[in-house]
Amino acid sequence: MRARDLLMEQNVALDLARQEAELAIRGHNDFLAVMNHEMRTPLHAIITLSSLLLETELNPEQRSMVETVLKSSSLLATLINDILDISRLEDGSLELEIGDFNLHSVFREVMNFIKPIAAVKKLQVSLMLSPDLPLCAIGDEKRLMQIMLNVAANAIRFTKEGDISLTASVARTDYLRDFRALDFYPVASDDTST
């Protein structure tokens, strides 16, 4: 009888702990959703007003500054979306949006976003698209853009001087079978990180 009572107490405690954990996750996700909304509203105002400002007469220096504000605020919007995606991943509600898209355009758009930010650090940025890279792809264009922006932003963040090169090519199928067969070996450097 004692063992049964102990087992019942443990089951009740486990159920209570599970309920508390689910409540904490819901609270966390609700908080992220509210913060996401509260941050997006002023951010979209900045993006919209910057876009409208670009349609007016500006001297080249002003135009460059407004373009930087627009691109930086767009990157911040992407970061906010990343945070919301983490929440969606945790609760299992993240869904990919599969469709056809222009792969080359995604890489060029990433370059357009990061060039002004890299220029602030006086970094050169280049893009190399392999001739065998298909023009069109099927997948989640927004997620690919998100990933590429994160990779590029990290490259900018951790590069003190020099240049950053984004290269896109088709992986050979024999490399996909054994990831250790890749002929890419990172080289340590004190000056730059690419």
Of 39-43, 132-136, 161-165, minimum mean pLDDT range: 39-43
| pLDDT single digits (tens) 73-122 | 887 887 787 777 777 777 677 788 899 999 999 999 888 888 877 887 88
For residue 52, the model assigns a pLDDT of 86
Residue 44: count other Cβ atoms within 10 Å of its Cβ.
12
For residue 103, the model assigns a pLDDT of 93
Region 119-140 average pLDDT: 90
| pLDDT single digits (tens) 20-43 | 988 887 787 778 777 777 887 788
Residue 184 has pLDDT above 60, yes or no: no
Region 139-167 average pLDDT: 87
CB-neighbour burial class of residue 18 (10 A; exposed 0-12, middle 13-18, buried 19+): exposed
For residue 177, the model assigns a pLDDT of 59
Contacts of 167 (CB under 8 A, 6+ apart): 127, 128, 129, 130
d(CA 172, CA 175): 5
- Rg of the chain, C-alpha, whole Å: 23
Q: What torsion do the CA atoms of 35, 36, 41, 43 make, to the nearest 10 degrees? A: 110
For residue 128, the model assigns a pLDDT of 93
For residue 4, the model assigns a pLDDT of 86
